[in-house]
Every structure is written in structure tokens, then in C-alpha cells.
């Protein structure tokens, strides 16, 4: 595919694209990358997706002429029948063009997301990488990069990368693996902190772990009452590490991969939930941690 800037200059010769570009105005900066499914459990060549969100509460954004791709190739966004305009607060789900007619994974979604596709049969040069570092880039119709995210494959099929704070930066610290299997296409991110990510941050090291993991947390407040709980991916609480414990602005707790009865849990994915009560307000954040089983 040609680069986004080249495609824009080619497309702007048409009256329709010129009008759409003027209509979008300066609101394009409100559209952000929010989720990337790079290693689906279904057909990998068809079920990859990228999600974007219009974070404005007033402006609509026309995505005509926009592109998404990797560092080698950008692909033009295409209409699937519902138009190209993203309403305030609306999510846009960008599917691989080979999805249509080849997969039905997302057909049952009942969301208000705008369904889009690309003018190629794979994102970027050959689809999102699940074996080496990859960059995801979103460009507007003028070729300006409106969002970018670089990820390292984790070898966990079915988990997407989700942006924690949609209004935050694009560094790796603001992205986490989805708690929900299959990701959250067209819906609120499973790792979203509801706009309160500035109040609570979870730090996990090492991840994955085999014998012991340190779960740290940082608060914007000086003191708080904190819960640190571990859940299975099925949603069952298996370990209470802290339960209403008074803490300072930062703290940590160790987990050795055991449940509340002291029994070793099997290897796999677990969900760390941290809740902090600060002056009557409750901040909540979630992270996925992986335990490697060692016999």
C-alpha cells in the first residue's frame, strides 16, 4: 500500500474527500488508538482488529482518508456501509478486510461501534506480529500520526492490548493486556480505570513469574485503605493479599501463586485487582499477571 500521505494527496482530488477533510476540522486530534488484537484465538488472518475512540464530547470526526498500519505499510480505512463519521464518544472497530465472508467472530456484537475495514487483506505489511516487536500507527487524512503504540508479543493468544487511560499517553505504561478473553471490541476496555487512572497505578514484577511476584501500587493520596485481590480468569476470587489495609502513598505485597488456603494454583493467567479508598472515593485498577507452572 502507498503511504497515508501519498494516498491523501491522491484522494483529495475528488470533491467528496476535500469536503470530508474540511468537515473534520481540528477535531481529528480527539481520535485515539484504544485497543489492538494482534494474536486472536480464531483465524489469525481474519480476526485481528484495531479499535479507535473519539474522545471528544462535542465534535464528530470524519475518518475518510485516515490510515492504520505498521512501520512498513499503512492501509486506508474503508466504509462497511455505515459511513466514516465517528460520533462523540463513539468507538470505531477496524477489521481486516478478509474478515468479511471468512469469519463471524464479531458478528454478534451489539454495540454502537462504527464498523470499518481497510483496503488490504492484512494490517500493515503482513498482519500484526505475534513473534517480534511491532508498531501500530494511526494517521489522519493529512498524514499526521494521531496515535502510535509499540508492543512486545506475550505468547497469550486471545488477549488484546488495551489502553488504560484513553486521555493518557501512548507509552507502554499506559497499555495492558485485556482482562477479558477475546478483548473488548467495540466496548469499554476491560483495563479501563474509568478516568481515575491518575489516582492508582499497579506495578507487577516479574511478569510472567514462576515462584513469587511483587505487586506494587502507587497512590496520588498520602494514605488510603487498600484491597489487593487475585482472581481467576473465570472471575473467582482465589486470594486476598490485603483487605482494607491502611497504607501510605505506595506499597507492595508478595504473592507466591497460592490461594487463601495455601494451595499452589496452576499456571496460567490471573487478574490482580487493587482498590483504594481515599476520602470516600474508591479507585480501582486491574492487571493481568501470568504464572508459569514449574513442576
Q: What helix, strand, coil percent values describe the chain, rounded to 5?
A: 10, 40, 50
Of the listed ranges 100-104, 112-116, 259-263, the least confidently predicted one is 100-104
Q: Contact 205/93 with Cβ under 8 angstroms?
A: no
Kindly indicate the confidence band of residue 87, based on its pLDDT and cuts at 50, 70 and 90. very high
Higher pLDDT, 198 or 99: 99
Backbone angles phi, psi at 25, to 5 degrees: 60, -140
Whether pLDDT at 156 is above 50: yes
**From the CB of residue 222, how many other CB atoms can be counted at a distance below 10 Å?**
9
CATH tag, 197-291? 2.60.40.4070
- The top-scoring range by mean pLDDT among 117-121, 180-184, 186-190 is 117-121
Residue 74: partners with Cβ closer than 8 Å, 6 or more residues away: 1, 3, 4, 7, 67, 68, 124, 137, 139
Q: What is the pLDDT of residues 111-152, one digit of tens each?
A: 789 999 999 989 998 899 988 999 999 999 999 999 999 998
Residue pointed to by grid coordinates 479499535: 51
Q: What are phi and psi of 8, to 5 degrees?
A: -65, -50
Name the segment(s) of the chain with CATH classification 2.60.40.4070. Answer: 197-291
Supply the mean pLDDT for the chain.
Answer: 83
Q: What span, in angstroms and rounded, lies between the C-alpha atoms of 277 and 167?
A: 23
pLDDT cut 90: percent of the chain above it: 43
Assess whether pLDDT exceeds 70 at residue 4.
no
Sign of CA dihedral 180, 219, 165, 174: negative
Residues near 16 by beta carbon (within 8 Å), at least 6 away in sequence: 64
Cα dist from 15 to 18, 21, 58, 81, 85, whole Å: 5, 10, 26, 20, 17
* Digit-coded pLDDT (tens) for 24-59: 444 567 999 999 999 998 667 789 999 999 998 889
| pLDDT over 90 (residue 250) | no
Residue ranges, CATH 2.60.40.1260, the chain? 4-177
User: Sorting pLDDT into bands at 50, 70 and 90, what band is 155?
Assistant: confident
The answer to whether 287 touches 162, Cβ cutoff 8 Å, is no
Res 174: pLDDT: 80
Find the helix or strand (DSSP H, E) in which 45 lies. Answer: helix 44-47
Q: Which of 126-135, 170-179, 264-273 has the lowest mean pLDDT?
A: 170-179
Residue 197: pLDDT band with limits 50, 70, 90 = very low
**What is the architecture of the domain spanning 4-177?**
Sandwich (2.60)
Amino acid at each position: 500500500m502507498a503511504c497515508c500521505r501519498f494516498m491523501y494527496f491522491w484522494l483529495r482530488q475528488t470533491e467528496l474527500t476535500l469536503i470530508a477533510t474540511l468537515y473534520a476540522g481540528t477535531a481529528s486530534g480527539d481520535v485515539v488508538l484504544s485497543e489492538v488484537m494482534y494474536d486472536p484465538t480464531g483465524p489469525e488472518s481474519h480476526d485481528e482488529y484495531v479499535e479507535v475512540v473519539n474522545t471528544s464530547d462535542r465534535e464528530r470526526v470524519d475518518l475518510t482518508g485516515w490510515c492504520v498500519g505498521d512501520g512498513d505499510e499503512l492501509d486506508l480505512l474503508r466504509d462497511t456501509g455505515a459511513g466514516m463519521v465517528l460520533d462523540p464518544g463513539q468507538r470505531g472497530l477496524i477489521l481486516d478486510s478478509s474478515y468479511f465472508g471468512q469469519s463471524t467472530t464479531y458478528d454478534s456484537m451489539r454495540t454502537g461501534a462504527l464498523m470499518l475495514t481497510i483496503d488490504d487483506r492484512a494490517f500493515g505489511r503482513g498482519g500484526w506480529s505475534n513473534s517480534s516487536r511491532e508498531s501500530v500507527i494511526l494517521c489522519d487524512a493529512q498524514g499526521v500520526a494521531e496515535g502510535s503504540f509499540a508492543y512486545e508479543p506475550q505468547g497469550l493468544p486471545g488477549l488484546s492490548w488495551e489502553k488504560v487511560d484513553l486521555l493518557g499517553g501512548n507509552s507502554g505504561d499506559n497499555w495492558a493486556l485485556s482482562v477479558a478473553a477475546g478483548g473488548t471490541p467495540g466496548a469499554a476496555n476491560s483495563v479501563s480505570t474509568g478516568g481515575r487512572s491518575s489516582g492508582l497505578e499497579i506495578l507487577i514484577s516479574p511478569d510472567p513469574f514462576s515462584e513469587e511476584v511483587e505487586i506494587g501500587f502507587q497512590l496520588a493520596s498520602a494514605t488510603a485503605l487498600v484491597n489487593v485481590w487475585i482472581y481467576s480468569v473465570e472471575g473467582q476470587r482465589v486470594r486476598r493479599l490485603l483487605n482494607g489495609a491502611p497504607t501510605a502513598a505506595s506499597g507492595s505485597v508478595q504473592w507466591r501463586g497460592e490461594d487463601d488456603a495455601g494451595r499452589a494454583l496452576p499456571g496460567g493467567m490471573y487478574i490482580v485487582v487493587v482498590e483504594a479508598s481515599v476520602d470516600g472515593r474508591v479507585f480501582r485498577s486491574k492487571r493481568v499477571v501470568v504464572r508459569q507452572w514449574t513442576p
